[in-house]
């Protein structure tokens, strides 16, 4: 749009311009939040899989390990 001096009006000064800028920013923020959420979900799933694999390995090692000997304690008598 041009005004009386022949200059173009910026989109933020048009009647729907401010709303359009606001909607664009809102969409960008939502997209960024979604991408961060997806990245966090992927990281969580990867760490959970690693933890479950380690727990399974530990359980297998526990099955094959010999039972620990009981620790003997010395009793001290007071004189």
Rounded Cα gap, residues 74 and 77, in angstroms: 10
Q: Check residue 5 and give its pLDDT.
A: 60
**Given phi > 0 = left and psi -120 to 50 = alpha, else beta, which region is 6?**
left
Domain locations along the chain: 16-61
What pLDDT is attached to residue 12? 63
Query: Would you give per-residue pLDDT tens digits along the chain (79 residues)?
Result: 556 665 666 666 777 888 899 999 999 999 999 999 999 999 999 999 999 999 999 999 988 877 778 888 888 887 6
Residue in the structure block whose two tokens are 């311009």 = 17
Residue the block writes with tokens 């920013």: 25
pTM: 0.55
Q: How long is the chain?
A: 79
- pLDDT score, position 77: 80
Return d(Cα 44, Cα 36) in angstroms, integer.
Answer: 12
Q: What is the rounded distance in angstroms from the CA atom of residue 26 to the CA atom of residue 24?
A: 5
pLDDT of residue 71: 85
Task: Return all residues near 18 (Cβ < 8 A) that are at least 6 apart.
Answer: 12
What pLDDT score does 79 carry?
67
């Amino acid at each position: 749009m041009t005004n009386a001096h022949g200059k173009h009006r910026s989109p933020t000064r048009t009647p729907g311009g401010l709303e359009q800028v606001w909607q664009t920013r809102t969409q960008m923020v939502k997209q960024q939040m979604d991408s961060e959420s997806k990245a966090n979900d992927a990281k969580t799933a990867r760490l959970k899989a690693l933890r479950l694999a380690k727990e399974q390995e530990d359980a297998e090692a526990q099955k094959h390990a010999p039972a620990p000997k009981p620790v003997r304690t010395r009793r001290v008598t007071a004189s």
